[in-house]
Amino acid sequence: MTRIRLPRATIAVATLVCCALISAACSGGGSSSSDSAPEDLPATGGGDDESPAIDDVATTDAPVVDEGQVVEDVVESEDAGEETRPAPGGTLRFALEADASGLNPTTSPLSAPGRTMANAVFDTLMAMDADGNPVPYLAESIEPVDGDLTRWRLVVREGIVFHDGTPLTADAVQVNYEAQLASPLIGLAQLPFFPAEGATTVIDDRTIEFSMLDPNAVFPAWLTSQLGMVASPDWLAAAAEDPELNQEPVGTGPFVFDSRSKDSITRVVRNDEWWGGEVYLDAVEFRPVSDPATRADLLFGGEIEGLHTIDPAIVGDLRDDDSVQNVIDETGQEQFVQLNAAVPPFDDVRARKALVLATPLQLYRDLIGLGIARGADQMFIPESNFYNPDVVQQGDDPVAAAALAAEYCADVPDGCSDGKIDVKFQFPSTGVVGARQAEILDRGWGEVFNVDFDQLSQPEHIQQVAFGQYQAALWRAFGSLEPATQRHALMCRTIAGGISLNGPRFCSEARDALILDAQAQLDEAARVADWQGIVQDMNDAFTYVFLLHTVWDNVFNESVRGVCDRTSPDGVPLRCVVNGVSWFDSVWLSD
């Protein structure tokens, strides 16, 4: 018998057709190019990288900025004319899918909402250009030190100060990096890949070296996201003494923290002394609004100027509306069911495969994806170089699923009731959205499994999965153009008895070898072959049921300009959004 533990009001409207909003993984992960590093690995710096600027768009024939990212109807200031040149002033109100537990990049797990807020206050050592390549940002240059790619040397730019007046130095970078490695949560993603001592070495006031356990040709990719954020070392020390200060971040970014009310409004104000140039907005206010339809209503009602969403129905409506601007990103985050291979029943491959085969894939994709979010077979979209065309997600085979379940129940009768496997499935609280997902999945699973559906708040959902206190869970992850930055979610060495970032807690030594070989490769063809092998290994383990490629839509009303005008200090055009994460240093408001 299926038991769905939901609020009464949710049950009453559970038959409405809605779309997915699911939890992001605890770690942010980095993003960079899917291209391999140059064979001679020159230093990355200066202004020689002439990536093409994002074109102005006035029709739905939108240019592809990078594989899976499309800019639709975004008004840029570059060719907007004299009368619409950037003007200072105004407050941008932006609605997020959730709040963050804190805004300290060394201790707080920052998913898309948290990174969006943190981007206003913190700069990163590297940034992602419009083609998806990491380029220097706070860093002036970065280069490998030796031939085996286990050491990288980074030089920070001169003359940059934090909001509290502390200078940016190599020592400050070291304090931040070592704090992340020492963090009980954030360090889980990195600590297994660095030596216990000597992970960083300060060479001089502006130069620092990073040492790692394994050769890494794509290390700069990690420094484009949370790992590359640099906070004031004085603030970090104060926050260690008073955790409440984790809500009041101090960085080098274009905006300075002003105020924060959890689950209400976080406000940042313009940094008139920003090292990166002029900032136009007076302030940005971030407002967590969990319901995607409500977010859209606020936009059309004029109560906010921007939002992000992954709800396919809302994305479809917004893309069809000429009064708003859309930046669509489909570059890697996938929605899937994740199975815990460390506990019954899914410590047995027969139970895992039975659930995979019993999943009503086509029905789920039709009713949840709605023709907007594409069905996913693996962690890469078809446009990615790493996509493996031979891997197809199994499902929609109840007969084969029933045969496996019968075999399992004959051997493990205590794990079954009435000839079906007993299992608990948890998912984040998203109102009618989660209820609809549960209902659809149960149409297939209910023939083979006795499913106890458990709806949890997003923080509780993340915590349960991180501690392995689950059997099956709805999840969203793998949001990186450089797949090696997702190694923490896939490798044996990140499985722990407590918190584990390898969600399925499944160890494949063959997969580990391929990941380490891929991140060390200078030849793209070899990297592609490795990652295609990794995708096949993931498919063969039956620990994931891939459902949909997440479609992120960052949406702005007509008054918002300059969304994609960001450039690096060396003049390289930068990416507009990354998996729902925006930046606001180039944004301004027209009348």
Q: What are the pLDDT digits (tens) for 176-220?
A: 999 999 998 788 888 999 998 999 999 999 999 999 999 999 999
Q: Any idea what the Cα angle at residue 178 is, between residues 177 and 181, rounded to 5°?
A: 90
Tokens of 232: 């004031």
pLDDT at 435: 83
pLDDT beneath 50: ranges in the chain: 1-66, 77-82
431 contacts: CB under 8 Å, gap ≥ 6: 10, 18, 290, 291
Which SS3 state, helix, strand or coil, does residue 570 take? coil
CA gap 551, 333 in Å, rounded: 8
Q: CB of 326 within 8 A of CB of 554?
A: yes
What does the longest C-alpha to C-alpha distance in the chain come to? 77
Cβ atoms of residues 186 and 231 within 8 Å: no
**What's 368's DSSP letter?**
I
CA–CA dist 200, 175 (Å, integer): 9
- pLDDT digits over 297-306, tens only? 999 999 999 9
Bond before 345 cis per omega within 30 degrees: yes
Strands, DSSP E only, in 51-206?
Answer: 64-66, 69-72, 91-96, 126-128, 134-136, 139-144, 151-156, 200-204
- Closest C-alpha among 43, 70, 48 to residue 59: 70
Residue spans per domain, the chain: 332-549
Chain CA centroid to CA 477, Å:
6
Output the CATH code of domain 332-549: 3.10.105.10
What type of residue sits at position 552?
W
Find, among 440, 337, 372, the residue nearest to 15 by Cα.
440
Distances (CA, A) of 551 to 26, 298, 361, 496, 579: 19, 20, 18, 32, 8
Containing H/E element for 313?
Answer: helix 312-319
| Cβ burial 334-372 (10 Å sphere, 16+ → b, else e) | bbbbbbbbbebbbbbebbbbbbbbbbbbeebbebbbbeb
* pLDDT at res. 60: 30
User: pTM score, two decimals?
Assistant: 0.83
Tell me 557's DSSP state: E
Tally the C-alpha atoms within 13 A of residue 395's C-alpha that lie toward its C-beta: 25
d(CA 587, CA 561): 6
